Protein backbone atom coordinates (compact mmCIF):
# COMPACT_ATOMS: atom_id res chain seq x y z
CA UNK A 1 0.00 0.00 0.00
CA UNK A 2 1.12 3.53 -0.79
CA UNK A 3 -0.16 6.73 0.78
CA UNK A 4 0.50 9.89 -1.19
CA UNK A 5 -0.81 13.40 -1.71
CA UNK A 6 -3.91 13.41 -3.88
CA UNK A 7 -3.94 15.04 -7.31
CA UNK A 8 -6.81 16.45 -9.40
CA UNK A 9 -6.69 13.30 -11.55
CA UNK A 10 -7.70 11.32 -8.44
CA UNK A 11 -11.01 13.18 -7.99
CA UNK A 12 -13.29 10.56 -9.65
CA UNK A 13 -11.87 7.68 -7.59
CA UNK A 14 -11.85 9.78 -4.43
CA UNK A 15 -15.51 10.65 -4.95
CA UNK A 16 -16.35 6.96 -5.26
CA UNK A 17 -14.42 6.07 -2.09
CA UNK A 18 -16.06 8.83 -0.07
CA UNK A 19 -19.62 8.15 -1.20
CA UNK A 20 -19.39 4.36 -0.93
CA UNK A 21 -17.80 4.57 2.51
CA UNK A 22 -20.50 6.90 3.80
CA UNK A 23 -23.37 5.06 2.14
CA UNK A 24 -22.30 1.51 2.96
CA UNK A 25 -20.25 1.75 6.16
CA UNK A 26 -21.86 4.58 8.13
CA UNK A 27 -25.40 3.27 8.57
CA UNK A 28 -25.10 3.75 12.34
CA UNK A 29 -24.80 7.47 11.61
CA UNK A 30 -27.29 8.05 8.79
CA UNK A 31 -29.69 5.21 9.58
CA UNK A 32 -30.29 4.65 5.87
CA UNK A 33 -32.12 7.97 5.69
CA UNK A 34 -31.83 9.18 2.06
CA UNK A 35 -31.97 12.82 3.19
CA UNK A 36 -29.07 12.31 5.61
CA UNK A 37 -27.00 10.42 3.03
CA UNK A 38 -27.64 13.10 0.41
CA UNK A 39 -26.66 15.88 2.82
CA UNK A 40 -23.48 14.08 3.89
CA UNK A 41 -22.37 13.20 0.36
CA UNK A 42 -23.40 16.48 -1.28
CA UNK A 43 -19.82 17.79 -1.39
CA UNK A 44 -18.32 14.39 -2.21
CA UNK A 45 -19.11 14.57 -5.94
CA UNK A 46 -16.22 14.89 -8.39
CA UNK A 47 -16.75 18.65 -8.44
CA UNK A 48 -16.87 18.74 -4.65
CA UNK A 49 -13.65 16.75 -4.39
CA UNK A 50 -12.02 19.04 -6.97
CA UNK A 51 -12.98 22.01 -4.79
CA UNK A 52 -11.45 20.30 -1.76
CA UNK A 53 -8.25 19.67 -3.71
CA UNK A 54 -8.09 23.37 -4.62
CA UNK A 55 -8.48 24.46 -0.99
CA UNK A 56 -5.08 25.68 0.28
CA UNK A 57 -6.11 24.91 3.88
CA UNK A 58 -6.36 21.16 3.15
CA UNK A 59 -3.74 18.48 2.62
CA UNK A 60 -5.51 15.52 1.05
CA UNK A 61 -4.04 12.04 0.81
CA UNK A 62 -5.03 8.83 -0.92
CA UNK A 63 -4.07 5.26 -0.10
CA UNK A 64 -3.53 2.95 -3.05
CA UNK A 65 -3.36 -0.82 -3.30
CA UNK A 66 -2.41 -2.22 -6.67
CA UNK A 67 -2.90 1.29 -8.16
CA UNK A 68 -6.49 1.44 -6.91
CA UNK A 69 -7.46 4.18 -4.47
CA UNK A 70 -8.90 2.52 -1.37
CA UNK A 71 -8.89 5.39 1.16
CA UNK A 72 -9.03 9.18 1.35
CA UNK A 73 -7.76 11.26 4.23
CA UNK A 74 -7.20 14.96 4.86
CA UNK A 75 -5.89 17.39 7.44
CA UNK A 76 -6.44 21.09 7.72
CA UNK A 77 -3.73 23.65 8.31
CA UNK A 78 -5.63 24.46 11.52
CA UNK A 79 -4.89 21.06 13.08
CA UNK A 80 -7.95 18.98 12.25
CA UNK A 81 -8.32 15.59 10.63
CA UNK A 82 -11.00 16.42 8.10
CA UNK A 83 -11.39 13.10 6.28
CA UNK A 84 -10.51 9.46 6.88
CA UNK A 85 -12.66 7.20 4.71
CA UNK A 86 -12.01 3.72 3.34
CA UNK A 87 -13.75 1.68 0.67
CA UNK A 88 -16.02 -1.04 2.02
CA UNK A 89 -13.79 -3.74 0.46
CA UNK A 90 -10.73 -2.43 2.34
CA UNK A 91 -12.38 -2.05 5.74
CA UNK A 92 -10.56 -3.82 8.61
CA UNK A 93 -7.44 -4.33 6.48
CA UNK A 94 -5.24 -1.74 8.21
CA UNK A 95 -5.77 0.97 5.61
CA UNK A 96 -7.58 3.37 7.96
CA UNK A 97 -4.93 2.92 10.63
CA UNK A 98 -2.14 3.59 8.15
CA UNK A 99 -3.97 6.64 6.84
CA UNK A 100 -4.50 7.96 10.37
CA UNK A 101 -0.79 7.55 11.10
CA UNK A 102 -0.01 9.55 7.94
CA UNK A 103 -2.51 12.24 8.88
CA UNK A 104 -1.08 12.55 12.39
CA UNK A 105 2.41 12.87 10.89
CA UNK A 106 1.11 15.59 8.56
CA UNK A 107 -0.30 17.51 11.53
CA UNK A 108 3.06 17.29 13.29
CA UNK A 109 4.82 18.49 10.13
CA UNK A 110 2.45 21.47 10.09
CA UNK A 111 3.63 22.32 13.61
CA UNK A 112 0.67 21.00 15.58
CA UNK A 113 1.30 19.09 18.79
CA UNK A 114 -2.36 18.26 19.15
CA UNK A 115 -4.92 17.06 16.64
CA UNK A 116 -8.67 17.41 16.56
CA UNK A 117 -11.39 15.62 14.64
CA UNK A 118 -15.08 14.89 14.69
CA UNK A 119 -15.72 11.16 14.80
CA UNK A 120 -18.79 9.43 13.49
CA UNK A 121 -20.61 6.87 15.59
CA UNK A 122 -19.15 4.30 13.19
CA UNK A 123 -15.53 5.43 13.72
CA UNK A 124 -15.56 6.59 17.33
CA UNK A 125 -14.23 3.34 18.83
CA UNK A 126 -11.57 3.19 16.08
CA UNK A 127 -10.23 6.59 17.10
CA UNK A 128 -10.45 5.83 20.81
CA UNK A 129 -8.38 2.68 20.27
CA UNK A 130 -5.71 4.86 18.67
CA UNK A 131 -5.41 7.30 21.54
CA UNK A 132 -8.00 9.91 20.61
CA UNK A 133 -10.15 11.19 23.48
CA UNK A 134 -13.62 12.71 23.71
CA UNK A 135 -13.53 16.50 23.61
CA UNK A 136 -17.08 17.51 24.41
CA UNK A 137 -20.61 16.42 23.64
CA UNK A 138 -21.90 15.30 20.28
CA UNK A 139 -22.00 18.16 17.78
CA UNK A 140 -25.36 19.44 16.61
CA UNK A 141 -26.89 21.50 13.84
CA UNK A 142 -26.39 19.10 10.92
CA UNK A 143 -28.31 16.13 9.62
CA UNK A 144 -25.46 13.84 10.76
CA UNK A 145 -23.50 14.98 13.81
CA UNK A 146 -20.21 13.60 15.07
CA UNK A 147 -18.28 13.56 18.31
CA UNK A 148 -15.40 16.02 18.90
CA UNK A 149 -12.14 14.26 19.74
CA UNK A 150 -8.59 15.39 20.53
CA UNK A 151 -5.18 13.75 20.73
CA UNK A 152 -1.75 14.90 21.84
CA UNK A 153 0.51 13.92 18.96
CATH classification of the domain holding 51: 3.40.630.30
Query: Looking at the 3D structure of the chain, how many domains does it have?
Result: 1
Measured in whole angstroms, the distance separating CA 53 from the mean position of its chain's CA atoms is 14
- Is 72:100 a contact under the CB 8 Å cutoff? no
Measure the CA angle with vertex 53, ends 47 and 58; round to 5°.
Answer: 135
- Grade residue 29 by pLDDT with cuts at 50, 70 and 90: confident
What is the span of the domain harbouring residue 138? 2-152
Confidence label for 70 from pLDDT (cuts 50, 70 and 90): very high
What region does 144 belong to: left with phi over 0, alpha with psi -120 to 50, or beta? beta
Q: How many CB atoms are closer than 10 A to CB 36?
A: 17
pTM equals 0.93
Q: How many CB atoms lie within 10 A of CB 136?
A: 10
Amino acid sequence: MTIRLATPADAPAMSMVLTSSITELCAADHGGNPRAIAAWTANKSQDGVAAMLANPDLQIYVAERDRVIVAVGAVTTHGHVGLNYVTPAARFSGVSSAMLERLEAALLALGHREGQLEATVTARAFYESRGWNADGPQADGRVVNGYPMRKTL
